[in-house]
Chain A
Amino acid sequence: MDHLFYFFREVRWQDLLDIALNSYILFRLYVLFRGTSAFRVLVGIAIFWISHKLALSLGLVVTSWVIQGITLVAAVIIVVIFRNEIRSVLQAKNLKSILWGFPRGAEEAPAENVAEALFELAQSGNGALLILPGKEDLSEAVHSGIPWQGLVSKEMIMTVFWRDNPVHDGAAVVRGRQVDEVGVILPLSHRDDLPSSYGTRHRAALGLAERTDALILVVSEERGTVSAAKSSQLWEIKNKEELLEIIEKHVGATISWGRTRKDKLELGLAAVLSVFLIIAVWSTFTRGVDTLVSMDIPVEYMNRPPEMEILDTSVNAVRLEISGSGALLRRIQPEQVSVKLDLSKGVPGSNPFTMTPESVSLPPGVLLKDVKPPVVEVTLDRTVKKDLPIQVDWVGKLQEPYVIAQVKIDPPRVQVSGSARVLSGISAIYTEKVSVDHLNRSGTLSAKLVPSHASLKLAQDKVTIEYTVKERTP
């Protein structure tokens, strides 16, 4: 129960988006592949995967190992064996139908009217090309349709394809009980194994059948035959009854309403299952608390007030104890973890900052168990400016007869900005070490200034030193 509460308390909006996106992808895969052999194999692989997890949780080491092996091999095999089917599914659909197109149920068509009209056209020596769309959108595959929207009847179809009708050469699209469009241009098939007796109408029918799941019916003007094209196949239909059966099988005319409802139920169930499956996978992957690791992470001090300086910190890095699934923790990179302390509310002096979960940034799915030390002391101080004298830091050994009698520095003072506390203990800024080893006559030289504390900023960093060398009196 505690785990369940913890689970929901820890879910972020990113997690919800993560689940939603992957559920949708899974659902789309189902929509695209349902009814295909590849889909059935995919379901089999999913069952194997679940079995593997189950065996693992039960401690069945060898079983889980074997199932995992089979699952991996099966995943490779599915791509090899079903590559043609996968390709045809993906090629036949446009981007819209792959990403968000929703399959429509096969539309009811007055099959008897269509069958009678086509055979009558065949007998009268008129050609015809009739499209009964399936579940896929045809708009990407066909062109130049003229809206017709006439109620389907035998006479209507015969009128459309009567040879004196200006649109009789194109195809007619029958949707539901309407002739929706006429004069539609179809893509031609490029297959070279078609009989020479097949003309342009047959190639057009096959071209559309190769690209979509529509049923295309062709009436040959020359031979007076009726043919049907579907799923890249074209075959001749002997009689009206056979045609009627094909049409009814395609559109499911007699049970069309019931089937649509069943489709909706099936898709709804698939959507719900997709969500549950992804939640299960997501939980397994990100919410496993089987591993605990420690990481030393440097602390980043953020939002320091501009008038303040950081004088000191009690630690430079903290030790984080984090938990999560082993898979996640193994992949974690140091740059994915950060510890940031907000100094915006700091005051001059010592500021104890308690480490909170908000201070620690972790990758999704990784939980913070502990921070050591829990409190970080940050000493802040106000930034001030101070005018300080400059002193030369002489080193080396001056030759015996000489003495450096006088030193003048230009400029003699320098403005220094830094922490008030640091500057209060400093009364001079020293130059870099200047050697006296070879000084035997008066002269000048230049030297850099070296601040005694790293946080101090100097208005200038170089000075000129004029020195007077005299001989030592005994």
Chain B
Amino acid sequence: MSKKKPCFLFALLCISLLLGGKVLSQEAPSASPAPSAERLILVQATMCASLKEGNPCNPGAVFPVSQGKVLCFSSFDPVPRKTIIYHSWFHRDVLITRQKFTLTPPRWSSYSTIQLREADKGPWRVEITDQDARILEVLRFSITD
């Protein structure tokens, strides 16, 4: 995963539909259209306990339920054109929530989150997919005591 670039600005904070996940994005100062050959590139995707100054804090694979929430952070650079991505959260193989994000050029970062309950203990995965349902990344983690 690449490092987050310092020039990002967080432009949009979205409230997730089902579990209160939030989306943090950085709007580009000028939305110039990207060349058609340029592809959307996921530069960073990680599970973390929180964000600090827009960066994932304590990324990991195991999170205690007492922590209260867990975040899936994803960062794209470049974003050639306005597009949609999804964060799909699975507890074992059951889809729990899917959060939709609209990415706008030239770069974008976003995160989704879920509130943790006792019943959420166990293995999880988050699939980051594009608007064509192509899987860009799968992040695996566990919720423990």
Whether A430 contacts B123 by the Cβ 8 Å rule is: yes
Instruction: Known A398-B62, A405-B60; judge A392-B93 contact (CB<8 A).
Output: no
Q: Does B16 contact A (CB under 8 A)?
A: no
B145 closest partner in A (C-beta): A397
Whether A436 contacts B62 by the Cβ 8 Å rule is: yes
Whole-angstrom CA separation of A389 from B140 in the bound complex:
10
Whether B138 contacts A404 by the Cβ 8 Å rule is: no
Chain A neighbourhood of B61, CB < 8 A: 392, 394, 404-407, 467
Closest chain B CB from A146 CB (angstroms) = 97
Instruction: Known A393-B122, A393-B123; judge A403-B62 contact (CB<8 A).
Output: yes
Whether A403 contacts B58 by the Cβ 8 Å rule is: yes
Q: Does A306 contact B (CB under 8 A)?
A: no
B 18-63 contacts with A by CB, 8 A: 49, 57-62
Instruction: Known A389-B138, A395-B145, A397-B144; judge A427-B62 contact (CB<8 A).
Output: no
Whether B144 contacts A396 by the Cβ 8 Å rule is: yes
Whether B145 contacts A404 by the Cβ 8 Å rule is: no
Q: Does A472 contact B (CB under 8 A)?
A: yes
Chain B neighbourhood of A407, CB < 8 A: 61, 140
Whether A427 contacts B60 by the Cβ 8 Å rule is: no
Chain A neighbourhood of B142, CB < 8 A: 392-395
Chain B neighbourhood of A472, CB < 8 A: 58
Q: Does B100 contact A (CB under 8 A)?
A: no
Q: Does B90 contact A (CB under 8 A)?
A: yes
Chain A neighbourhood of B125, CB < 8 A: 391, 427-428
Interchain CB contact (< 8 A) of B144 among A428, A430, A436, A467: A436
A 382-440 contacts with B by CB, 8 A: 389, 391-398, 403-407, 425-428, 430, 436
- Bits for B109-145, please: 1 = Cβ < 8 Å to A, else 0: 0000000000001110100000000000010101011
Whole-angstrom CA separation of A329 from B64 in the bound complex:
63
Whether B93 contacts A397 by the Cβ 8 Å rule is: no
Given contacts A405-B59, A425-B93, list 6 more A-B pairs with CB under 8 A. A394-B62, A394-B142, A396-B144, A405-B61, A436-B62, A473-B58
For this complex, 24 residue pairs linking A to B, each with C-beta atoms less than 8 Å apart, are A389-B140, A392-B61, A392-B142, A394-B142, A395-B121, A395-B142, A396-B144, A398-B144, A403-B60, A404-B60, A404-B61, A404-B62, A405-B61, A406-B60, A406-B61, A407-B61, A407-B140, A427-B93, A428-B125, A430-B92, A436-B62, A436-B144, A467-B61, A472-B58
